[in-house]
Copies of this chain bind each other. A is one copy, B any other.
């Protein structure tokens, strides 16, 4: 009974119902030109055999693509994870299936390796291009099948306008806003603990959060300290931020994301510096936990899920030109002031 007996096909149903395979196909796909009596017979046969349509065959036979592959490097980051959720929801609603393939952050994947991850040539693909492997995958896909790929990443409004295959939020503006907020609070300057992308070491990877931050400092005529580079993990951030929290001159740190901010809070605590009394800390992304740390984290909210949804819609448009190009619509990143920021103590 638990034996893997072969699954019923459309032909089995057809035979049992006494109709042609095509008629079964029509019933399954809800075609209107089927007599009610016939439809019932077919449905009955379907139920009896436990027939379920085979999606692979369906796609093969030239039906719609109905499948996206998501290439990402790190699913444990809040941004990509939320974007993936957005993609999945949007895809689900249209009955598309979602494949996921995780790029190894350590490995430099060959072009062939990246291509081999796609189930077929021309597979619609969304790439999380926020780090090195993602950037590389983006480049490869852009060469191979520019019309069937979309990349999500941190880009400025100009870049987004210039590249029709790009989706992202201009978080430089939000970084600027956060920096200005800290300056207005009375801080002499603001330091920056940067996520890897923002160090600008990747091909094509610009440092938007860092740029927005630096711009405001320059405009305000403040010293622009060297950004402190951190890895993506909390442990790396904890290590990287040590010199910053040890320096009493440092009174405000803008962190590249909330994980880095958490590490900074921890480091500050261990260094005996009170937050926000001695040190103001601002995060980025509004990760779910950030409202519940003690003190609660001041951060920048970003709606990654909407970005994911937008990427999916854009992809559909690019794969099938007949679908109207979506207007990218989601809330701007927005500063959320909570408890880790305040005026300097002096």
Contact residues of A with B, CB < 8 Å?
2-4, 7-8, 50-52, 54-57, 59-60, 75-76, 81-82, 84-85, 88-89, 92, 95, 97-102, 115-122, 144-148, 233-235, 238, 259, 262-263, 265-266, 269, 288-289, 291-294, 296, 319
Contacts and interface: CB of A to CB of B under 8 A. Distances in A.
27 contacts: A2-B146, A3-B147, A4-B147, A4-B148, A4-B319, A8-B121, A55-B119, A55-B120, A56-B56, A57-B120, A60-B60, A75-B84, A85-B102, A88-B100, A95-B116, A97-B99, A97-B117, A97-B119, A98-B101, A234-B292, A238-B292, A262-B292, A265-B294, A266-B292, A266-B294, A266-B296, A294-B294
A235 B286 CA distance: 14
Contacts of A98: 99-101
Contacts of A85: 75-76, 102
Given A52-B120, A56-B119, A102-B85, A147 B2 contact: yes
A234 B289 contact: yes
Given A2-B147, A52-B118, A266-B294, A102 B89 contact: yes
Given A56-B59, A60-B60, A75-B88, 14 more contacts: A2-B147, A4-B145, A7-B120, A75-B84, A81-B81, A85-B102, A92-B102, A97-B101, A233-B288, A234-B289, A259-B289, A266-B296, A269-B294, A293-B294
Contacts of A84: 75
Contacts of A59: 56
Contacts of A118: 52
Contact of A144 (B50, B97, B266, B294): B50
A262 B144 CA distance: 46
Nearest to A237: B292
Contacts of A51: 121
Nearest to A60: B56
Given A60-B56, A144-B50, A293 B293 contact: yes
Contacts of A319: 4
A85 B293 CA distance: 26
Contacts of A8: 121
Contacts of A148: 4
A177 B121 CA distance: 52
